């Protein structure tokens, strides 16, 4: 039987529901041979996943980076970049993470100040006093403060009324430009794959010229088999990948109980995986230990 390889999953370290160790056990239960852990903008789950890794599972350390890109039509849109086997201590990566942390705190402060100025029950100083130095600052902090103050019933209502995109207190983030992210991960010894490039249901997407440009910057692949791609989209994307010499991967984008997709629902061809991992030098694959 050919190896079952799922290259895109989230743990509770970002917005999944399984802890990294639960996720590794679930991967064995789902009869996976290889799993990539790709939490949003963090490598914080790598160690726990590696420590909990059962044989015969292989772990690909990774992350899904939030980036911005031109959509090919002059609009700036949000895109996700899967990054595998990079060295998280590389200087370029550490510097960019520091910039993002600072930028996110500045943005949160601005949103909090505006809400307080409008008489909403937000105390910006108290909010920041309760925020750990290395905590990723974002809208959920404001949402929870609004819930605690009784202003809204839950976090969803806070986003619907105040914080969601286009709502009164929403401010955009300045994420990493995707070309810069591709370059940064390459300099950290990693490889990159553009996540769900044409998942139209998720919002605006980049066109084929943008993907061609990224291929020229060193992008290794595109995620073709993804739950948000229909069969016609997969076919077009597979054709584009072949044309541009990009690898075509497949993954579930598993989020535990937060989404209905199961682990291994989409898989990557073993030969494609071998090519991908052969290009990476930043962080080794981790082999599971017999119990």
Which positions touch Zn ion (CB under 5 A)? 64, 80, 195, 253
Q: Give least dist CB 228 to Zn ion, A.
A: 9
Output 122 or 266, the one with its CB closest to Zn ion.
266
* CA-wise closest residue to 82 among 165, 158, 190: 190
Q: Give least dist CB 59 to Zn ion, A.
A: 17
117 CB-near residues (< 8 Å, 6+ apart): none
Q: Give least dist CB 112 to Zn ion, A.
A: 27
Q: Give least dist CB 252 to Zn ion, A.
A: 9
Which uninterrupted H or E stretch holds 248? strand 247-250
Output 38 or 85, the one with its CB closest to Zn ion.
38
Q: Give least dist CB 57 to Zn ion, A.
A: 20
Output 64 or 225, the one with its CB closest to Zn ion.
64
Q: How far apart are CA 44 and CA 49, in angstroms?
A: 10
Q: How far apart are CA 195 and CA 64, in angstroms?
A: 8
Output 64 or 266, the one with its CB closest to Zn ion.
64
The closest residue (CB) to Zn ion is 80
Beta bridge mates, 84: 62, 191
Output 15 or 125, the one with its CB closest to Zn ion.
15
Q: Mind giving me the DSSP string for 46-88?
A: HHHHHHTPBTT-EEEEEEEEEEEEE-SSS-EEEEEEEEES--T
Output 36 or 122, the one with its CB closest to Zn ion.
36
Q: Mind giving me the DSSP string for 148-203?
A: HTTSSSSHHHHIIIIISTTSTT-----PEEHHHHHHHHHHTT-EEEE-STT-GGGS
Q: Give least dist CB 2 to Zn ion, A.
A: 24
- End-to-end, the C-alpha distance of the chain in Å comes to 23
Q: Give least dist CB 80 to Zn ion, A.
A: 4
Output 199 or 283, the one with its CB closest to Zn ion.
199
């Amino acid at each position: 039987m050919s190896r079952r390889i799922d290259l895109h999953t989230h743990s509770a370290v970002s917005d999944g529901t399984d802890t990294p160790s639960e996720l590794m056990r679930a991967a064995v239960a789902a009869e996976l041979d290889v799993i990539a852990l790709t939490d949003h903008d963090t490598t914080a789950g790598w160690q726990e996943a590696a420590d909990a890794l059962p044989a015969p599972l292989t772990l690909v350390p990774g992350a899904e980076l939030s980036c911005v890109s031109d959509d090919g039509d002059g609009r700036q849109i949000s895109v996700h970049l899967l990054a595998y086997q990079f060295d998280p201590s590389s200087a370029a990566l550490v510097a960019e993470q520091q910039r993002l942390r600072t930028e996110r705190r500045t943005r949160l402060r601005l949103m909090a100040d505006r809400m307080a100025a409008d008489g909403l029950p937000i105390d910006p100083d108290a909010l920041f006093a309760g925020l750990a130095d290395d905590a990723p600052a974002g809208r959920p902090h404001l949402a929870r403060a609004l819930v605690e103050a009784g202003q809204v019933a839950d976090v969803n209502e806070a986003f619907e009324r105040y914080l969601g995109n286009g709502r009164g207190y929403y401010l955009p983030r300045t994420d990493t430009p995707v070309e810069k992210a591709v370059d940064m991960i390459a300099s950290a010894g990693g490889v990159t794959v553009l996540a769900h490039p044409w998942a139209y249901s998720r919002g605006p997407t980049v066109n084929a010229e943008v993907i061609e440009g990224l291929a020229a910057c060193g992008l290794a692949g595109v995620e073709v088999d993804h739950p948000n791609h229909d069969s016609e989209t997969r076919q077009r994307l597979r054709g584009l990948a072949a044309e541009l010499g990009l690898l075509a991967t497949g993954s579930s984008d598993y989020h535990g109980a937060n989404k209905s997709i199961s682990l291994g629902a989409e898989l990557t061809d073993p030969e494609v995986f071998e090519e991908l991992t052969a290009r990476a030098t930043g962080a080794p694959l981790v082999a599971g230990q017999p119990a």
